[in-house]
Structure formats: C-alpha cells, structure tokens
C-alpha cells in the first residue's frame, strides 16, 4: 500500500514540476487558460485520479484523496496568482494607452465672425433706432391672408405671379416678403406707428441675382398727416447714412398693390458717381428699395379710418445693399459659407 501511495505522490510531484515549468513559459491569460485545462481539466491527472478514488480499496481512499487535493490546491493557487499578475499587466497597458498627455499643445478653437448680412442688418437697425423706430418681427411661415389678401392682393391679382411662392397648403405659405408684418402690427396696435421689420423671406428662384431665401427690412410709419415728404426725407437720410453723404437719390414711379402712390428709390452709383459704368449697367443709378404711401384699402383690413390716418411703407433688400456696398456680384456667395469669402468681412 505504501508503495502505491509513494508512486502516486511521485507522479503528482512530477506533474507539479511540469506544471511549474509550463507556467513559467506562459505570457498571457489565454495561455494560462490552456494550462488550466491541461493540469486541472477533465482529462488531467489530478481530475482523473480524484474521479477514480471510488474504485480504490477503502484504506487507500483518504490518503490518495488528501495528496491529490494538496497538489490540486497548489496548482490552483499558482494559477490564481499568475492570473492576477497578467490582469494587472493588462490594466497597466490600458492605463498607459488611455493616458492624456497634458504637455501636448492644445487645439486652438477657430473663431467665426458675424455673417456680412447680419452685420449690415445691424448697421441699418442702428440707423433707424437713431431715428426713433422700433424693431418688430413676424413669422416666416405665414397665412396667405397676411402675405397677399390683406395687402390688397386678392386671389386673382396679377402681382401674385411675380412672387413665385412656396405654398405649404392652400392658405399657408413661406412669406415672400416682410410686408405681411405691416398688417399684423396694425391689427394689434394703434397709430402712431414707426417700426422696421428685419427678416428672411422666400421665393422659388435661383440664379446669380436670386436665391430661394433672402433678407428684407420692412418699414412702416402711420400717424395723422404723414405724407410723401416724410417718406422721401426718411429714406434719403437712411441711404446717405448707409452709402455715404455724397450719394444722390431719386424716386421712380412704380406699382405695388399695397401702396398708392408707389415708387422705387435709386442711389447714384458710387463707382462712377452717376456717369454710368458696368456696375450700374451704364445708368448711373442703382435701385435699392420699394416704397409708397399705404393704400387706404389696407387700412380697411385692420380697421383704421383712412380719413384719420395716413402713412408710408418701404421694403429694403439687404443682400442688394451688401452687394452694392462691398462690390459683390454673385448673390449666392452670401449663403455658400466659403471661408475665403466670409473671412473678408
């Protein structure tokens, strides 16, 4: 019996020595897993010995069990130790990989600048505020009623076709101009009124001088005894503040459904001083806005008495002002966000 036990202990010791040798050669957790299968797995010496204890004579059972378990525990303990070692190595590696080098130079955030359209809107707003105007804003998704109907432009009016409207439904659209805010404002407030309304407007158009979205500033002045001289003085003054004191202005008769009489205003060309050049197509003048005395029909829609109040209105195209002020000849440049263009302003 002693001989059998000795033989087994020798074999277990030999197995353990082999295990230690193999263990030394493992370099990662995966290899360690393989080692565990070899020495403690189903087919390993340790496991098969323990499994077969039942078939041994009774007096051998406890000694074999005890010795085998001693080696099983020794192997398991060595494996555990090594697992811990490899795990800490991997953790170190991960930490090193995720380490932030605080000494590296930072990335400088690129500073943007205000779009030139915004700059010009703000400049014009300042001019009007200086003259006692208030700023009002209205919705870009608008009712047909405000965009056309109440501006004296009924369903079958030919002026509608000039607007190339984006319709959302039969009676909802993207506003084609800032003029609807005239009606909205007069519905809500009584004269005296002096407001400007900056904002985006939309038309189905796209070429060098048209984009589907562009910007306008609407103006409205209503009070007792307002006449065309007030209109003329106000717009002349503003034009000279925008383009310079030497600019001359002129008014040409025009037609708008919601003003009567109506006019377009030109400023003398800055490039040729009115002599005629390429920029002004040889005419010496550049058109910058539409204006007129508010049509009495519009007052009827908002419940004002046309015998009591008179007023004037105007609409300025902002992109056009920018193009003239800075000599830009393609309208689309404003919206394409080319950094080389934007950086100039």
Nearest distance from C-beta of residue 98 to ligand DAH, angstroms: 59
Interface with ligand DAH includes 199 (CB under 6 A)?
A: no
Smallest gap from residue 314 Cβ to ligand DAH (A): 5
* Residue 199: alpha-carbon gap to chain centroid: 18
Of 290, 295, 322, 334, which one interacts with ligand DAH (CB under 6 A)? 290
- Judged by CB under 6 A, the number of residues near ligand DAH is 11
Separation CA 85–CA 9 (nearest Å):
29
Measure the CA–CA gap between 120 and 14, rounded to whole angstroms. 91
Where helices occur in the chain by DSSP H, the ranges are 2-25, 29-40, 45-52, 61-98, 116-130, 144-147, 180-188, 228-243, 296-302, 318-326, 339-342
Nearest approach in angstroms of CB 110 to ligand DAH is 36
- 311 touching ligand DAH, by CB under 6 A: no
Contact, 294 vs 312, CB < 8 A? yes
Q: How far apart are CA 323 and CA 304, in angstroms?
A: 38
Measured between alpha carbons, how far is 265 from 291 in angstroms, rounded to an integer?
Answer: 8
Shortest Å distance, C-beta 230 to ligand DAH: 13
Quote the least distance from Cβ 291 to ligand DAH, whole Å.
Answer: 5
256 counts as binding ligand DAH under rule CB under 6 A: yes
Closest distance between ligand DAH and the C-beta of residue 178, in Å? Answer: 7
Residue 79 vs 291, nearer CB to ligand DAH: 291
**Residue 216 CB: number of other CB atoms within 10 A?**
25
Among 8, 79, 313, 321, binds ligand DAH (CB under 6 A): 313
By rule CB under 6 A, what string of x and - marks binding of each residue 122-161 to ligand DAH?
Answer: ----------------------------------------
- Which listed residue (15, 142, 144, 218) binds ligand DAH by CB under 6 A? 218
Considering only 187-195, 242-250, 303-311, 312-320, which stretch makes contact with ligand DAH by CB under 6 A?
312-320
CB 152, min distance to ligand DAH, A: 11
Pair 220, 204: CB distance under 8 Å? no
Q: Which helix (H) or strand (E) holds 250?
A: strand 249-256
- Return the closest-CA partner of residue 19 out of 4, 35, 8: 35
Q: Is 179 in the site for ligand DAH (CB under 6 A)?
A: yes
CA distance 198 to 109: 31
Residues in contact with ligand DAH by CB under 6 A are: 177, 179, 218, 256, 259, 290-292, 313-315
């Amino acid at each position: 019996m002693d001989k059998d036990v000795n033989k087994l202990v020798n074999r277990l010791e030999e197995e353990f020595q082999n295990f230690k040798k193999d263990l030394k050669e493992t370099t990662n957790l995966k290899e360690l897993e393989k080692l565990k299968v070899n020495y403690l797995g189903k087919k390993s010496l340790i496991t098969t010995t323990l499994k077969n204890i039942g078939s041994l004579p009774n007096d051998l059972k406890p000694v074999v069990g005890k010795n085998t378990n001693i080696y099983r525990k020794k192997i398991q303990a060595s494996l555990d130790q090594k697992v811990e070692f490899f795990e800490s190595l991997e953790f170190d590696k991960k930490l090193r990989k995720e380490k932030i080098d605080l000494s590296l130079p930072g990335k400088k955030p690129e500073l943007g600048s205000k779009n030139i359209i915004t700059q010009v809107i703000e400049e014009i707003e300042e001019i009007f505020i200086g003259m006692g105007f208030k700023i009002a804003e209205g919705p870009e998704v608008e009712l047909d009623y405000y965009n056309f109907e109440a501006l004296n432009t009924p369903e079958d009016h030919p002026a509608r076709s000039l607007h190339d409207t984006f319709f959302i439904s039969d009676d909802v659209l993207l506003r084609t101009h800032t003029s609807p805010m005239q009606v909205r404002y007069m519905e809500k407030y009584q004269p005296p009124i002096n407001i400007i309304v900056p904002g985006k407007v939309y038309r189905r158009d796209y070429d060098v001088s048209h984009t589907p979205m562009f910007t306008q500033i609407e103006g409205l002045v209503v009070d007792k005894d307002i006449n065309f001289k007030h209109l003329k003085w106000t717009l002349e003054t503003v034009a000279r503040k925008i383009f310079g004191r030497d600019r001359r202005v002129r008014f040409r008769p025009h037609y708008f459904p919601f003003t009567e009489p109506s006019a377009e205003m030109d400023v003398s060309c800055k490039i040729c001083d009115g002599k005629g050049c390429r920029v002004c197509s040889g005419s010496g003048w550049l058109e910058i806005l539409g204006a007129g005395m508010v049509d009495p029909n519009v007052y009827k829609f908002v419940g004002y008495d046309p015998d009591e109040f008179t007023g004037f209105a105007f609409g300025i195209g902002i992109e056009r002002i920018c193009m003239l002020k800075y000599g830009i000849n393609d309208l689309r440049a404003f919206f394409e966000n080319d950094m080389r263009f934007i950086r100039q302003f």
